[in-house]
């Protein structure tokens, strides 16, 4: 196992643990939309209009970005690094 695989593996492990923690920090979605559709209530509140700036929105965006970073790291670890190692081995011969 090369040093690059160890580094990428530890990065993926840390990113996965961070994703788990961020998912656990998020609140559970309520069924407010279904209730308001039946009762005729409106979701046009201050909270509904400023939804992108709340703690929940920040947690969702952070979780999404870290998941993308983990995916890119996994792709790099499984495709790019073996390709580079093959090139290094072939040039050494």
Mean pLDDT to the nearest integer, 43-57? 66
């290094």: which residue's tokens? Answer: 88
Residue 61 or 44, more confident: 61
Residue ranges covered by each domain of the chain: 1-25+56-93
Cβ neighbors of 57 (< 8 A, separation 6 or more) are 51
Which token pair is 27?
A: 């609140």
CA distances from 40 to 3, 13, 35 (A): 60, 47, 8
User: Which tens digit of pLDDT belongs to each residue from 52-85?
Assistant: 678 888 899 999 999 999 999 999 888 888 888 8
- pTM, two decimals, is 0.66
For residues 23 and 29, the answer to whether their CB atoms sit within 8 Å is no
Residue 21 or 53, more confident: 21
For residues 12 and 73, the answer to whether their CB atoms sit within 8 Å is yes
User: Which tens digit of pLDDT belongs to each residue from 76-93?
Assistant: 888 888 888 888 888 887
């Amino acid at each position: 196992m090369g040093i690059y695989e160890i580094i990428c593996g530890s990065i993926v492990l840390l990113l996965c643990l961070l994703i788990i923690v961020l998912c656990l920090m998020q609140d559970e979605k309520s069924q407010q939309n279904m209730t308001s559709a039946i009762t005729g209530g409106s979701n046009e509140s201050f909270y509904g209009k400023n939804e992108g700036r709340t703690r929940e929105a920040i947690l969702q965006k952070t979780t999404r970005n870290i998941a993308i970073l983990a995916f890119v790291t996994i792709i790099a670890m499984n495709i790019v690094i073996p390709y580079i190692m093959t090139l290094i081995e072939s040039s050494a011969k």
